[in-house]
């Protein structure tokens, strides 16, 4: 038992330090995707992001880097501001909440845009809940 403790501890530590920024986007027009990708790439405080485009709506769910959790609201605010500047025609929702990040993964695969929209509305509502 005692012999196992150190290897397990080390592997957890090493897995935690995996440092590759990922960005996943659902099927949408190329120009906007590139712009969003560029912004997220430039944000040092973000670990990974998922962007969902549907009609005039954009959901960007990001995961902040470990240890930066306490700055979450600030990161969200900054990112939203930057995105709104380049994509003024979109209704943008930015969230660093894991729930939205997780659901965004499901939406990436969803083909039916009606369903995506419906789900997005629900997520926006969830985001507003306080307790």
Partner 1 sequence: MNQEQFDKIEQEITPPTPYVKNVLKAFLVGGLICTIGHAITYFYIIFFDFTEKTVGNPTAATIIFISMLLTGFGLYKKIGQFAGAGSAVPVSGFGNAVISAAIEHRTEGFVLGVGGNMFKLAGSVILFGVSSAFVVSLIKLILVTMGVIEW
Q: Least separation, in Å, of the C-beta of 17 and partner 1?
A: 18
Q: Least separation, in Å, of the C-beta of 102 and partner 1?
A: 6
Please give the angle made by the CA atoms of 29, 113 and 109, to the nearest 5 degrees.
80
Nearer to partner 1, 102 or 113 (CB): 102
Length of the chain in residues, anyone?
131
**Footprint on this chain of partner 1 (rule: CB under 8 A):** 73-74, 97-100, 102, 126-127, 129-131
Nearer to partner 1, 29 or 131 (CB): 131
Q: Which runs of E-coded beta strand occur in the chain?
A: 22-25, 46-54, 57-64, 91-95
Q: Least separation, in Å, of the C-beta of 61 and partner 1?
A: 11
The number of beta carbons lying within 10 Å of the beta carbon of residue 70 is 8
């Amino acid at each position: 038992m005692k012999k196992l403790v150190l290897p397990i501890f080390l592997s957890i530590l090493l897995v935690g330090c995996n440092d590759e920024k990922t960005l996943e986007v659902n099927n949408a027009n190329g120009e906007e995707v590139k712009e969003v990708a560029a912004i997220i790439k430039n944000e040092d405080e973000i670990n990974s992001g998922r962007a969902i485009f549907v009609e005039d709506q954009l959901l960007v769910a990001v995961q902040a880097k470990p240890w930066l959790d306490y700055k979450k609201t600030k990161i969200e605010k900054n990112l939203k501001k930057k995105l709104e500047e380049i994509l003024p025609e979109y209704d943008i929702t930015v969230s660093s909440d894991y729930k939205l990040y997780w659901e965004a993964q499901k939406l990436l695969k969803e083909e039916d845009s009606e369903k995506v929209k419906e789900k997005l509305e629900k997520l926006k509502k969830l985001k507003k809940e306080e307790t």
